[in-house]
Amino acid sequence: MKNLILISILFFAGNKIKAQMITTTLSVKGNCEMCKKRIENAADIKGVKNCNWDEKTKIATITYSSDKTSMVEIEQAIAKKGYDTESAKADEAAYKKLPKCCQYRTNVCDDKK
């Protein structure tokens, strides 16, 4: 009987510890390859396994551990670096720090040839 209780406790504890990896997509404003690097680096917070932003679609595919972070925290981290997401808008000071070609609100990227 004691063994059965111990096995049950270990089983349920193991399931609690097991991280739940979630892959989802997120719209993130940006213009160019430099934006891609900045967006992906901004999303590199504790709990995020991978972030890949597509320059053409403006969609980031993010894989993260729901036990360690949330989409709200990920969006806030990206917005803090100057990029608007679906639910988090970058403040003006962070946006203005972006290079001219990365200032997506003007719809102009001088870097494109």
Task: Express each pLDDT in 42-84 by its tens digit.
Answer: 999 999 999 999 999 999 999 999 999 999 999 999 999 999 9
Assigned CATH topology for domain 19-106: Alpha-Beta Plaits (3.30.70)
Eight-state DSSP code of residue 20 = -
Q: Is the distance from CB of 63 to CB of 23 less than 8 angstroms?
A: yes
Closest C-alpha to 48, from 30, 22, 26, 28:
22
Q: Is the distance from CB of 88 to CB of 54 less than 8 angstroms?
A: no
Task: Determine what percent of the chain is predicted with pLDDT higher than 90.
Answer: 75
Q: What is the pLDDT of residue 62?
A: 98
Quote the pTM value.
Answer: 0.79
Token representation of residue 69: 């972070």
Q: What is the pLDDT of residue 113?
A: 43
d(CA 88, CA 6): 45
12 pLDDT above the threshold of 70 = no
* Among the ranges given (69-73, 79-83, 98-102, 106-110), the one the predictor scored with the smallest mean pLDDT: 106-110
Core vs surface per residue 40-55: b (16+ CB within 10 A) or e: bebbebeebeebebee
Domain limits of the chain?
A: 19-106
